[in-house]
Amino acid sequence: MKCFMDGSAAIFVDAGDGMEGVISVPADVKKGEVSDFTNALPTAEETLAAASSTFIKSTTFEDIETFESSSANLKDGVWDVKITNTERGENLSPQLTWDEVDGASEYVVIMIDGAWLHMDVFTTKTSLEEGEIPRGDRGNQYVGPYPPTGTHTYSIFIFALKNEMGKVSLGFDGGGNSIDQIYNGLNVDIDGNSGNVIAYSRLDGNYTKE
């Protein structure tokens, strides 16, 4: 923070992931609540989106229930280099843990970079160990981030399903995917009944090509 002779001030803010900014405080500013200051700061989502060219800003299923998830490989909105499929990375699938959802018979874990699918896992567990998922077959496959240029957002969506899924299009390690279309496929069970997705969780992290 830097104060000036006229009573005004400038607050230098480091929002992480290379995002910095300055908040100017006029000399005649009035006393306010802490929330007045914090509400002026960018949210974690806004910080990620501002730095990335592939952040998914909205989905069609935001109104359904959510649950918590976390990854030891995600720190301050940035993915650990070891999960990447790069010269510096080890192409290890990320560690994941999530809450158990009542009524769920299966969970589908998706990692997607905009429209590029990096992981699809079908499991009854509520956690995955680091490096557990190989570049295998449908429902058990992973390839790490390898952005061609700049900063990309690698989003993990975990869907809790009521019943066995029906037909779902998953173009692994390729473009042309849509998280909304994946959700729509998962939301219809094998018998054609809709409403198959009980709840979902979302984790977002950026990775920048060195």
Which amino acid is it at 68? Answer: E
- Cβ-Cβ contacts under 8 Å for 194 (sequence gap 6 or more): 187, 188
Yes or no: say if 120 and 141 are a contact pair by the CB < 8 Å rule.
yes
The upper half-sphere exposure of residue 81, i.e. CA atoms within 13 Å in the direction of its Cβ, equals 7
- 45 torsion bin: left (phi>0), alpha (psi -120 to 50), beta (else): alpha
Set out the domains of the chain in order of their start, with CATH numbers: 2-42 (no CATH), 65-208 (3.90.280.10)
Residue with the bigger pLDDT between 32 and 99: it is 99
Structure tokens of 44? 């974690």
**pLDDT single digits (tens) 87-108:** 999 999 999 999 999 999 999 9
**pLDDT single digits (tens) 146-169:** 999 999 999 999 999 999 999 999
The confidence band for 7, taking pLDDT boundaries of 50, 70 and 90, is: low
**pLDDT single digits (tens) 130-139:** 999 999 999 9
Rounded Cα gap, residues 174 and 5, in angstroms: 58
Rg of the chain in Å (alpha carbons): 20
